[in-house]
Each structure stands twice: as structure tokens, then as C-alpha cells.
Chains A and B, each alone.
Chain A
């Protein structure tokens, strides 16, 4: 078992003919993910990657022809909201958006629309997700993680890779690793993923990697305190971040005194979560 994606996931890639789309499609195929097609308006009927993957003009035609149940988006920020609406309207229940830099007002409208339709979005501005040994939907390097019983959820990219790699070096594996992304408004949040890990029989422990900005970690702490039986270990990045400055991620900003690392760590510790001083400490805290 795992959460959100597995070996039965049938994936289409929106923006498959672009550099990034093509490169990562190749990586996902090599990992064993069932990439059943891609889209690029105006290039329907073509094939990419030596005839391995068919290209469609629209999500709707791709879904009709392939029975896709998941989509990943690699188009630029300017076109990404439209790509998300298109996937949702084509009836795809789970959409992963890698794109960074989508305007926040676009995301407010997107999220409202998806909530009304009951579509789940992961991201944007995220590395996607990886169920080691089964499927990779996104850009997390496949070779840094092994299958196991640790569920990982994170707002960051490379920091998550660090943690997966540190776990692997200790012989510890992941059930699923989910990157929820660094934007202030996203589709799937910590609580959504914690809930899934709590239900997933393969997941026995959870690692939550947060950062400054917003109050999602505080809400996650409340959820952990009241609803979770599985142990959670955490790390929060940005303890030295100055207030009022956006630290790379659009959502990583301390505003009006809210969103500090200290507040988040306090809330998590109060919920019984062990908070690591640095990411390399995580494997030992899980033991």
C-alpha cells in the first residue's frame, strides 16, 4: 500500500513536448510509472520518446483514449492555471502541478473551482510525489529513496531529497513521499496527507518537513495531537529567516509576526512531535 499513486496510476503529462516535460517523462517511464500519454495543443497524433508515448491535443481526448486517472503539469506559470482547469474539466481526479510562479490570485480561483468539482490538486511549485518501487509522479530523483514504512510530507524540494537520502543511508525507506509545494495557496495541505498516512497500513511513522510562513504546521500539530496514532518527526526550515522577506518560496514569509519557525516548533512539540535540530538528525529520531 501507499498513498495517492501506485503501480496502477495511469498518468498523462501536460506540456509533454517541452524540455522539462520530455526529460521528466523519460525519467518517470524509466522508474516504471505508467505514463499513458501527454498533451500539447496542436501536436495531437504525434509520438514522443521513440514512439513510446502518444501526444493528444487536449486532456479530454487523452483521457478518452487512455483512461488516464492522474495528470502532471509542466507548462509555464502563464498557462498553468488553464492546464489545471482543463484537467479538472476532463474528469481527472488527481492533478500534480510542478510549475513555480503561478500568481496567487489565480491560485485562489483555481482552488475554489477544484473544491467545487471535488478534484484533488498537489502543488503547485512542488516536486510531486514518489512511491518508491512503484511510481514516481514528479521530479523527485528515484535513486535517493527505497521502499519502506516512513511517510514523508514536505513543503520543500531539495530539503526533502536530503531527508530521503539520509533515511536511505540508514537503510530506512519511504511508503510515499509527498511534496505539497512552497506556494501560499496550494491544493493539498499537511492535514490532507497526514490523514492519508494515518489510514495507510504500510506507513508506520511520518516525517513532516515544514518551513516559515502561514499556519499550516500549527494546524497539522493540532491534527496530530487529536487524530493521529502514528509517531511524527518534524523539521522546520527558516529559524534564521528575517521577517517580511520571501525566502525563495512564495509562501515562505513571516508576515505581521505570524508564520515564525519558533511558533511552529512550539506547536509541534506541544503535540508530542519530535522536532529535529537539523535534517540529518531525523533518522535517529525515527528509531
Chain B
């Protein structure tokens, strides 16, 4: 789950990290009021869950409250990479002397958290990692020990931070590490962390990604999810405990198991079709779940055919077939459907579906070819 900049910075502030004292606004009028309160120049920043908003014109300076209102009005009408801007953050403008990158994330290969820092902040860190990796220093943290003070010093030393800032920098590192662990983040990033002309550090921008699997122990953070920023079908799928990702093709896929679901998409493509989605209905595949999944797939008007691919293991195919029949009775789709049932009780399952006017297939390759042909005929 992604957090907005303003949400991430609210969390940072709780952990003692200095952040600008701005606030978020949903209208230009509110933005003006915040600018009046703050006094002086402000920066108005689009709050959207995609990168590259600066380049898209979503971050602009304003010299007074009147200009803040104008700028906010322009930004609030924008779309950035297809996402409408619904909120802006109004922060006091900072007097920047130098920009630093500081972040912590999970290093999957090392199986440890890793701090990353660079004296070249404010830029796309992935780009820096690709082009000049020597400009990024990495410090791995023992997950049982946590961040040690010497490691914070190592980071400061690694980016040639002037010694007068080491103490404050150490506190920021410790705060960031606590925010990362206590919120179960997969990324906590300050970019840029700036040295102000006033000779102190400030987290000008912040980003946090949270581990969806850990939200059960963070009900307060789970509430911060911005459902306006995701595809409605994905929100609906989450409600039914379905794993769903919308794609651009026209063949809807309904599969049990994540690996098999990806494989089904791949094989559709291999035979010249385009998958409309990734969908894992999980182990049980009850009628309710299948019905919910069908409705979600059919809510995409591009879908011209549906491919059901079910491997019956512990789940018996006849049970799944009953689920499909009940779902069809409820949803009544009028597009071609190809079904492949394999494994435990596949024969019984196929018999049950014989009257349902579904196209049946024995192998994965055959199922994919039939689905591709059906979609082409319907398009």
C-alpha cells in the first residue's frame, strides 16, 4: 500500500523527523487559507501516488496566498499519468543549501533492511543506482539488532555530511528506522533531505510503502488507504479476498493459484491473444467467490471472452464446476467462455458444465487457443 507524501511526512513527524509545517488542502480556497497561515512564499504540491509529478508541473512555488490559490486551482484540475489530482500539500518554501537522499527498504537478496543514502539527493534514485551506483552508499541492518549508532555515523561519513549535522542526522536515521519497523514499511524514503540555509536538516519530501500483509496489526494505517487512486475493480476484488490486476487485453482469465494465473496470461499471449487481467480465485473457489470474480471481469467492457483454468487438487473440479454454474446463473454473461478443468474429479466437473454452453478444453494450450479464437470472433 502506497502512502501520499503528506501522510508519510505526518508519520515521519511522529518519529521526530523534522518536516515542513504545511498542511493538505482539497480546494484552492483551503490552499489559500493555509498559505495565509504560513505566511511568506509557499510550495504547492500535487498529492498523487505516482512519480514524476514535478516534471508534470504538479509542484509549483507561490509568492503569496493569492498566487497559492491560483496555483492550487491549476494543479487540482490536473491529471498526472492518468490520475486526477484531488489534494495538494501546501508547505512553506525552504531555503535549500544542499539536497541529500536517505531511504530504507527491504533488500530481498540480502534478506535484511538496507539504508541507502546519497549526497546527490532530490533526483530519481533508481536512475542514480543505474548510472552512477558508486554515488549511493548502502548499510545493511541486522533485523534482530536494529540500527546501531555507529551505522548512522557510517552513513553520514559515506555521504560526506559536514560534522556539524551528524547528531541531527543520526536522530533522523533512528527516527526513520523506527518509522520503517513500527509501521511495517517496505520503503521509507526522504528525498530530498535538505540542509537548510538556517543550518539544520529538514525532510522536504517523503514516501512510504507499507506491507499489505502487516496491515492487520496497523488498523490506523490501513485507514489511510486512498481508494480513489486505484482501479475500482481492484478495490472490489480486495473486498472479496481475490487477487486481481487489471490489464489492457480482451480475454478475461479466472484461475486458481497465482503461478498458474500468471502462466495462463502468458499462454494466452503466446497464442496471439491479450489477457484482460490477472485473477487468482484461490483454493476454495466457492460459488460466491466465482460470482464476484465474474462480475469484476465483466465490469471491463473490453472483455470479449473468458478463460477459466482450474487445476483440481485438494479442491475437487466438480465442486468448482458447481461454483461456476451458480455464478453463471446469477451473473448471466453473454460472451463466449472457455473452461478447462484438470485434476481431481475433472470428468464429473466437465459433465456438470456440459449443458452450460461453455467451450471445453483438455490442455492449457488448447484452452488458450480456443479463448483467443473466441475473442477474435467476438471482436
Residues in A lying within 8 Å of B, measured CB to CB? 23-24, 27, 77-78, 101-106, 108-109, 111-113, 139-141, 143-144, 154-162, 165, 182, 184-185, 209, 211-212, 214-215, 235, 237-242, 245-252, 256-257, 261, 277-280
Contact = CB atoms under 8 A, between A and B. Distances in A.
Given A144-B343, A214-B108, A158 B260 contact: yes
B343 A185 contact: no
Contact of B143 (A105, A158, A215): A105
A77 B269 CA distance: 35
B270 A278 contact: yes
SS of B interface (majority)? mixed
B330 interface: no
Interface in B5-59: none
A250 B213 contact: yes
SS of A interface (majority)? loop
Interface of B: 106, 108-109, 111-113, 126, 129-130, 142-144, 181, 184, 186, 211-214, 216-217, 243, 245, 247, 255-263, 265-270, 275, 278, 280, 311, 313-314, 342-344, 363-365
Contacts of B342: 162, 165
A23 B283 CA distance: 14
A160 B311 CA distance: 10
Contacts, number: 165
- Residue in B184, B212, B311 with the greatest tally of chain A CB atoms within 10 Å: B311
Contacts of B260: 156-159, 162, 237
A48 B32 CA distance: 68
Contact of A77 (B109, B213, B365): B213
Contacts of B261: 247-248
Given A77-B216, A144-B343, A156-B259, A139 B270 contact: no
Given A27-B314, A104-B211, A156-B257, A248 B280 contact: yes
A112 B142 contact: yes
- Residue in B216, B245, B278, B280 with the greatest tally of chain A CB atoms within 10 Å: B278
A159 B263 contact: yes
Contacts of A257: 126, 130
Given A27-B314, A248-B243, A184 B106 contact: yes
Given A141-B313, A158-B311, A241 B262 contact: yes
A29 B111 CA distance: 35
